[in-house]
Every structure is written in structure tokens, then in C-alpha cells.
Amino acid sequence: MNELIEHAGGRASSSVCARTRLVVAGDNGGSKKARAESFQIPIAAPEEFAVLVADFI
């Protein structure tokens, strides 16, 4: 997935911070999903993310 994100012009990260633009998380996103919500960062389900990057596959 990291290669796909970079191919689409993004940068993958294992942490969430105020500069994060989008978090991909399922229903059980855990602490990263909660942190994204606290920063008001958009959260995409894996299916939504697939649609966003479909043109880059």
C-alpha cells in the first residue's frame, strides 16, 4: 500500500499528526483513528481509499 500511496503523490506514515491529510482505517481503527478524529483529519474506509487511488493502479 505504501508504494501505491507514493505513486499517487502521497507519503505514507505510521503515525498521525496535525500535518496528516487522510487516514485510512476500518471500523476498528484504534488509537490512530481516534487521534485523527481529535485533529479533525478525514478518515477513509479501505474501500473509499481504493476508489481514490484507482486511477493510479
- pLDDT per position as a tens digit, 6-51: 988 899 999 999 999 999 999 888 999 999 999 999 999 999 999 9
Confidence of residue 55 (pLDDT cuts 50, 70, 90): confident
CB-CB neighbours of 41 under 10 Å: 18
Burial 20-35 (b: 16+ CB within 10 A, else e): beebbbeeebeebbeb
Question: Do the Cβ atoms of 22 and 42 come closer than 8 Å?
Answer: yes
Domain extent at residue 36: 2-56
Instruction: Look at residue 30 in the predicted model and tell me its pLDDT.
Output: 92
pLDDT at 1 over 90: no
More confident residue, 43 or 52: 43
Distance (Å, whole) CA 16 – CA 1:
17
User: Looking at the 3D structure of the chain, how many domains does it have?
Assistant: 1
Q: What single letter denotes the amino acid at residue 35?
A: R
Instruction: Look at residue 29 in the predicted model and tell me its pLDDT.
Output: 87
